[in-house]
A and B are shown apart, each in its own frame.
Chain A
Amino acid sequence: MQMRRILLASAAIAAFAGTAQAETVLKWGANRDIGSLDPYSYGDSFTINVLNHVYEGLVRYNRDLKIEPALATSWEILEDQITWRFTLREDVTFHNGNPFTAEDVVASLERVSHETSPLKGNLPAYVSAAVVDTHTVDVTLNGTYPLLLNDLTNIHIFDKEWMTEHDALLPTDIGAGTEGYATYNANGTGPFVVESRQPDAKTVFVVNPDWWDEAQHNLDRIELTPVTSAATRVAALLSGEINFTNDAPVQDLPRLAAAPDVQVLEGVDLRTVMIGFPFRETLSTGAPNPFSKREVREALYRAIDLDLIHQRVMRGKSRIAGATVAPEIPGYVEALDTVPGFDPDAARTALAEAGVPEGLEFEFNCLSDGLVNEEQVCQAIASMWSRIGLAPKLDVAPRAVQTPKRTGGTTDVYTLGWATLPMLDAYSPLLQIFHTKEGNSGVFNWGGWSFPELDALVQAAGSELDVEKRLSLETEALQIVKDQHIMIPLHQQPMAWAVTGEVAEMPLFPDNKPRLWFARVTPDA
């Protein structure tokens, strides 16, 4: 607390005194705030993404989203096939001046996989880590596992000495009811240093002059301001109060693009939007559940006019999807990417043949703070389903309210967006969504389905070190998902960032994560 106050005070003085020379400031208006300054206490990809500017992993994604060395310079798999040896970068220091060593890596891996850590699922194969020498670490896994590096891109490394000093060796435990030191303070190795933070108002990062890597950015400061209302974000960008947003509302893109000083960066996100069904015996109303029948799921699929949603709700910016993973994701093949034609009459007939009663009521669970235009997508789909004689009850609420219903199986049909982050591999949805719910597998299998044949394929892929073989196993499993219509893929959603003329460079990444160490801002004249 004390520390933060001093930081705030000095920031205030700096702001008051005025800045002597032209500063390059990226004023980032995000659609929400980060949850904490502690990436391990808050299992949320946006928070981890933002904190990646402060903390780094052993490896990282480069501009082309290929894995490259970061805090580790090289690695090898030892004889036993389950131990990975990492050689660490030398001459790296934390923001407080402490040197980066193998001790820090071990302490960080232990912290993130501690049982109270909400992020432990992001490092599923980890068993233990051991110091070999100051710059070498051995990581032992529970079996052969091909995707450790992918997982490690998002495991941030903390300073052990700092954590010990501030009693932060363990992640913040909400159950204990006390605030963690790392929630308000940060000490990483990354390109930016946290200068001040006021939750939900402003978080300021300043450049780390001692960063080990050669900076490609030219930013002096990043000011992250959460602006939750989409319309306000647009107004702020038009008036220059912010010069970057990573969430420009789809419906406002024409207006933004037409503004003289604004540039819109558009792309298609890796996130695939899907609809999931319950496989339980009964619906939430107590009526028998028809959705466990494949023909019924197919009928609901055929009742959705994907093209209309693409045209109207997504304003032509989405990519209609036939597969449950995006084309960029390893494991995807084009053959998976076909959609059945829109045919409401056939759908109605199929429902009748399957014995689904006219006017069947069921809950349709959507988030108000989830996917791009999710509320409108859900309303549109609910309207299409009512036209084939169903009576969906739309239930739109914030994620925090909906998640317990979804995980607890007390709702029926639901939406889910899956971008395969941080793994960027089809194994991610196969293991976490489509596998039978048991242990660490199928944690997002909210419908409660079980396809043993698919499980076998997923397990085989999970221990296959040969990339080609692994991917073909994954593709085979995805084909089962498709044939069974376990979930209906709708589209890959659009992503749109916008910058003002001050921002000279801002690479857009298909995983929709800003990586501001590649950004450049024109200094004020």
Chain B
Amino acid sequence: MDHTASPAAPARPETAARPSRLTRLRDSDLAHSFRAHPSAMLAAAVLALVALSAVLAPLITPQNPYDLAALELWNSEIPPIWQAQGQWPYLLGTDTQGRDILSAILYGSRISLIIGFASVLLALSVGLSLGLVAGYLGGWVDNVIMRVGDVLLSMPFILIAILITAIATASLPAGLRDVLAAPILIFAIAVPSWVQYARTVRASAMVEAKKEYVQAARLIRVPAWRIMLHHILPNCLTPIMVAATLNFGLAILSEATLSFLGVGMPPDQPSLGTLIRIGNQYLFSGLWWIVVFPSVQLCLIVLSVNMIGDWLRDALNPKLR
């Protein structure tokens, strides 16, 4: 729902010392903690399975659900295979256009994962760079960046995303829109979420920038980007990592919500949300499989991501050990 389920813990500057060794240490710690949490392991396994099947979708699905010529209306509304009218190879049945539900789910998961991942990546890179620049340089640059952030945070996340997608969809020609549907969603979800990263990094950068070693490095003309990258960034990676994982789940949810509301992926390239929206129209027509299977898959993906994020937060938060 809200893209920031839990505020990230503030950066802990005192753990700055030696990034590389520390990372290694933490990794092994993490690995240990991971083995101790069966739920996290299960979640990771589910997610890996989903991701693998999504990547391999073109190889293992009986149909390319995005190829209009492959849809055969005669094969529409076939129930799942275990029901009386079920038919091979439509394991989970077909929708009203003759689209194989299993294929649609795998392709849809692929879209959901790509959009979730890409939007987090975009928000991360924008947020980290702007946050570093703002915190390190300060002054009017900082002011402009943070004021833009204020404005974005003063509008509810979902509202911004709806506006961006609705505007983009309405103003693009249909040919382009097919191609750009996913990039638009990635952008729409990333726009309101970079601020959180930027603020975290900025706070840490401001503290570091005042430290003597940074001042010294400046004096001997070490390039600014080097200072930022090597000294400031590693300090705030922990909270950023947790936030990014949790935001990944939220991004997937947001994509599904937008598509459900009809401003996301178009019906001829359905994502999980689009499938649920379409299926919702047939809630009482006995075609339950159109809405139930995509919903289950969506919940499964988000649940796994959140379980990993939750575990990660606890594992990285020394207070909770």
Q: A: which residues have CB within 8 A of B?
A: 229-231, 234-235, 238, 249, 251-252, 254-255, 284-285, 305, 308-309, 312-313, 361, 363-365, 368, 375-376, 379-380, 382-383, 386-387, 392-397, 401, 410-411
Contact = CB atoms under 8 A, between A and B. Distances in A.
Contact of A231 (B69, B96, B284): B284
B69 A383 contact: yes
Interface string B164-206: 0000011001110110000000000000000000000000000
Given A313-B96, A393-B178, A379 B284 contact: no
Q: Is the interface of B mostly helix, strand, loop or mixed?
A: loop
Contacts, number: 88
A491 B96 CA distance: 19
Interface of B: 67-69, 71, 73-74, 76-77, 96-97, 169-170, 173-175, 177-178, 262, 266-268, 280-287
Contacts of A379: 68, 71, 97, 267-268
Contacts of A396: 266-267
Contacts of A305: 73
A394 B96 CA distance: 17
A386 B74 CA distance: 16
B283 A285 contact: no
B262 A368 contact: yes
A284 B175 contact: yes
B281 A231 contact: yes
The 8 closest A-B pairs by CB, nearest first: A395-B174, A386-B69, A386-B68, A231-B283, A383-B68, A251-B285, A363-B174, A393-B174
Contacts of B285: 249, 251-252, 254-255
A252 B288 CA distance: 12
A214 to B, nearest CB: 40
Contacts of A312: 73-74, 76-77, 96
A401 B170 contact: yes
A383 B71 contact: yes
A365 B175 CA distance: 11
A249 B67 CA distance: 28
A61 to B, nearest CB: 33
9 contacts: A229-B280, A254-B285, A313-B73, A313-B96, A363-B175, A379-B97, A386-B69, A393-B178, A394-B68
Contact of A255 (B76, B178, B284): B284
A270 B105 CA distance: 39
B96 A376 contact: yes
Given A308-B73, A380-B73, A284 B173 contact: yes
Contact of B282 (A251, A394, A410): A251
B68 A382 contact: yes
A365 B266 CA distance: 13
A394 B174 contact: yes
Nearest to B70: A383
A284 B174 CA distance: 9
A397 B67 CA distance: 20
A395 B175 CA distance: 8
Contact of B284 (A252, A284, A376): A252
Contacts of B69: 383, 386-387
Given A254-B285, A312-B76, 15 more contacts: A229-B280, A229-B281, A231-B283, A255-B286, A305-B73, A309-B73, A364-B174, A379-B267, A383-B73, A383-B97, A386-B68, A393-B174, A393-B175, A397-B169, A397-B170
Contacts of B283: 231, 234-235
A376 B286 contact: no
